[in-house]
Amino acid sequence: MVNIRVIPRLDIKGPNLVKGIHLEGLRVLGRPEDFAQYYYEQGADELMYVDVVASLYERNSLHDIISKTARRTFIPLTVGGGIRTIDDIKSVLRAGADKVSLNTAAVRNPTIIREASRKFGSSTIVVAIEAIKQPDGKYLAYVDNGREHTGIEVLSWAKKVEELGAGELIVTSVDNEGTGTGYNIELTKLIAENVSIPVIAHGGPGTLKDFGTVLKDGKADALSVASVLHYDYIKKIEHTMHHRTEGNIEFLKSNRSFQKINPTGITEIKQYLLSNFYECRH
Amino acid sequence: MQALEMKKKVVIIDYDLGNLFSVKLACESVGLNVEISGDKKIIKNADAVILPGVGSFGDAMNNLKQLDLISSLQDFALSGKPLMGVCLGMQLLFTSSEEFGNTQGLNLISGEIRKLRSTIDSPVKVPQIGWNTITSSKVPWLQTPLKNTPANSYMYFVHSFYAAPVNDAVTLTITKYGDNEYCSAIFKDNIFATQFHPEKSTETGVKIYKEWALMNNLI
């Protein structure tokens, strides 16, 4: 009845698609628009771009990537990273994005959520929550790609964000991100069970069963997927003559420290969901 | 040069609410000549109009009122020229909405806008954000912009409210979400509107703009 969305997440630095572990140690994988196009053709339900360095000097290349993608892919595109003001939101939407994701700006000035959801519609405003588990078991929200501590407890933050008018939440476990050890079920469940807006789980999937677990036990509404898809696409294109990607993919061949990530395509993820009685567009 | 001047013009109504650019990109991809505008004269002279929108019904009607576009849109619909509504733009065509008490709409289609329900037996998140299918109603799709859309196609939805037309004969598609079974597209004379976003529903959705354009000789 409710269709689970599979949302490829593409972290961008300048003109490149990058991927790290724990949101750090970024490696260049290739051109984001090529990956986005491929995921679209494979049945991605939405796309998400995140400008991970969010340097204002690099904005032109981000807008260029958004605009190219929006002209070729007719599914919702969310853009995040470095969006601080209503004007920033407007310019990203004008470049062709459908939604924006806010983190740092929302933490520093929560009223931007209300203002933006009023002006652009709640459904346009996604709030990103990046959480790190503390020694006492609490989850606290971080900003600037998990680098800066805010001292805010994630559940109260999630509820406040919902009240301010956010349309969706993307919840990242910084601890699990890029590791392939699975989504953080405890964190996802904590938030998904206590808000009425959709929760997109992010960070950690390495194998197919991780998707089932975060839906069943974590109560997620949608799946953000990065490494497993990117590595799958790279594996497929490295054999072709038209491999234009100039990324640093040597690390994938060396097969070190990535044993936990099984490259998997969108079609396989959806087949897995369907065979486990989850509905999805197929 | 002459051919360019002859090209039919579609105006996407800009009433300072939501994002119009994805509608524009989809229209352009099927060859439509589109302009985004909130100017009454430009709207009056348009060959067709698209009313998009995300956000709240009340804010939308307020903005239309402030821009003095309510009678422009009503007159345009009465002129018989094609009018297409998308998402909130479909809801605005109705008589009223139960959001914030009772807000009056454009009243081009009789009916009201109601909130999606989540029940104990069928709990669902509201808003509905994501893909859902459209099934056929009693109205055949053959003479409508859905004529080449397969039944049960997936479309992208983002909404908390849905339209309940008084007259079933305008209901073109039906969608189920939890306990809700509602009208997700309407067709009446020159008016066509969808609760879903065809521009965000892959080529299957974009094709609906193409069929609408072809039916109305806009391309």
Domain boundary assignment for chain B: 2-215
Taking only the tens place, the pLDDT of each residue in A50-77 is 998 865 555 777 889 999 999 999 999 9
Do the Cβ atoms of A1 and B22 come within 8 Å?
no
Q: Is residue A95 part of a domain?
A: yes
Q: Is residue A280 part of a domain?
A: no
| List of chain A residues whose C-beta atoms are within 8 Å of the C-beta of residue B158 | 123, 167
Total count of domains within chain A: 1
For residue B57, what is the nearest residue in chain A, using CA coordinates?
A: A121
Residue that wins the pLDDT comparison between B17 and B191: B191
How do B154-159 and B128-133 pair as beta strands?
Answer: antiparallel
Q: How many CB pairs under 8 A join A and B?
A: 93
Q: Is residue A110 part of a domain?
A: yes
Do the Cβ atoms of B127 and A98 come within 8 Å?
no
Model confidence at A90: pLDDT above 60? yes
CB neighbours (10 Å) of residue B96?
17
Given pLDDT bands bounded at 50, 70 and 90, which one contains residue B20? confident
Chain B nearest CA to A90, separation (Å): 9
Taking only the tens place, the pLDDT of each residue in A121-134 is 888 999 999 999 99
How do A222-225 and A5-13 pair as beta strands?
Answer: parallel
Active site residues of B: 87, 197, 199
Q: Considering only CA atoms, which of A131, A124, A137, A175 is closest in space to residue A154?
A: A131
Do the Cβ atoms of B126 and A196 come within 8 Å?
yes
Q: Is residue A282 part of a domain?
A: no
Q: How much is the mean pLDDT over chain B? A: 94
A114 within 8 A of A137, measured Cβ to Cβ? no
| Residue A252: predicted pLDDT | 56
Picking from A87-96, B45-54, B141-150, which range would have the lowest pLDDT averaged per residue?
Answer: A87-96
Q: Is residue A157 part of a domain?
A: yes
Task: Give the integer Cα–Cα distance in Å for A115 and A121.
Answer: 10
Q: Which residue has the tokens 């340097």?
A: A55
Given pLDDT bands bounded at 50, 70 and 90, which one contains residue A154? very high
Task: Give the integer Cα–Cα distance in Å for A268 and A272.
Answer: 6
| Residue A258: predicted pLDDT | 58
Number of C-alpha atoms within 13 angstroms, CB side, residue A160? 15
At the fourth CATH level, the homologous superfamily of domain B2-215 is: Class I glutamine amidotransferase (GATase) domain (3.40.50.880)
B211 touching A (Cβ < 8 Å): no
Q: Is residue A281 part of a domain?
A: no
CB-based burial label for B36 (10 Å; 0-12, 13-18, 19+): middle
For chain A, percent of residues with pLDDT exceeding 70: 89
Q: Is residue A91 part of a domain?
A: yes
The residue annotated as part of the active site, out of A11, A46, A168, A210, is A11
Q: How much is the mean pLDDT over chain A? A: 89
Do the Cβ atoms of B156 and A222 come within 8 Å?
no
Q: Is residue A187 part of a domain?
A: yes
B54 touching A (Cβ < 8 Å): yes
* DSSP three-state, residue B102: coil
CB-based burial label for A53 (10 Å; 0-12, 13-18, 19+): middle
Which residues span the domain enclosing A160?
Answer: 5-275
CATH number, domain of A246, equals 3.20.20.70
State the DSSP string of A138-171.
-EEEEETTTTEEEEEEHHHHHHHHHHHT-SEEEE
Taking only the tens place, the pLDDT of each residue in A224-255 is 999 999 999 988 887 664 445 455 555 555 55
Task: Give the integer Cα–Cα distance in Å for B95 and B104.
Answer: 6
Do the Cβ atoms of B54 and A168 come within 8 Å?
no
B182 touching A (Cβ < 8 Å): no
Taking only the tens place, the pLDDT of each residue in A13-58 is 888 999 877 767 778 888 999 999 999 999 999 999 999 886 555 5
**Which of B52-56, B87-91, B120-124 holds the top average pLDDT?**
B87-91
| Residue A62: predicted pLDDT | 87
Pull the structure tokens for residue A71.
């002209």
B14 within 8 A of B185, measured Cβ to Cβ? no
Closest CB to B19: pick one of A3, A40, A120.
Answer: A120
> Taking the CA atoms of chain A, what radius of gyration do you get in angstroms?
17
B73 within 8 A of B52, measured Cβ to Cβ? no
Closest CB to B54: pick one of A71, A123, A221.
Answer: A123
Taking only the tens place, the pLDDT of each residue in A182-238 is 999 999 999 999 999 999 999 999 999 999 999 999 999 999 999 999 999 988 887
